[in-house]
Copies of this chain bind each other. A is one copy, B any other.
Amino acid sequence: MTYAVAVRLQRGLAFAADTRTNAGIDNVSQFRKLHFWRRTGDRVHALLTPDANGFSVSCILGGQVGDEAPRLFQIYDEGNFIEATDDTPYLQIGEHKYGKPILDRVVHPEMRLGEVVKLILLSFDATLRSNLSVGMPIDLLLYERDTLDVRRVRRIDENDEYYRKLSNQWAEALRAAVASMDEYKD
Given A97-B98, A101-B126, A130-B97, A117-B174 contact (CB < 8 Å): no
Q: Is A177 an interface residue (CB 8 A)?
A: yes
Alpha-carbon distance between A126 and B166 when the two chains are bound, in angstroms = 21
Q: Is A32 an interface residue (CB 8 A)?
A: no
Neighbour of A119 across the interface among B99, B122, B178, B180, CB < 8 A: B178
Alpha-carbon distance between A112 and B118 when the two chains are bound, in angstroms = 33
Neighbour of A117 across the interface among B122, B152, B183, CB < 8 A: B183
Neighbour of A183 across the interface among B97, B98, B114, B186, CB < 8 A: B114
Chain A 32-72, CB-CB to B under 8 Å as 1, else 0, gives 00000000000000000000000000000000000000000
Interface residue stretch chosen among A5-13, A23-31, A81-89, A102-110: A102-110
Interface residues of A in 90-137 (CB under 8 A from B): 95, 97-102, 104-106, 112-115, 117-119, 121-122, 126-127, 129-131
Chain A interface residues toward B at CB < 8 A: 95, 97-102, 104-106, 112-115, 117-119, 121-122, 126-127, 129-131, 142, 152, 154, 162, 165-166, 169-171, 173-175, 177-178, 180-186
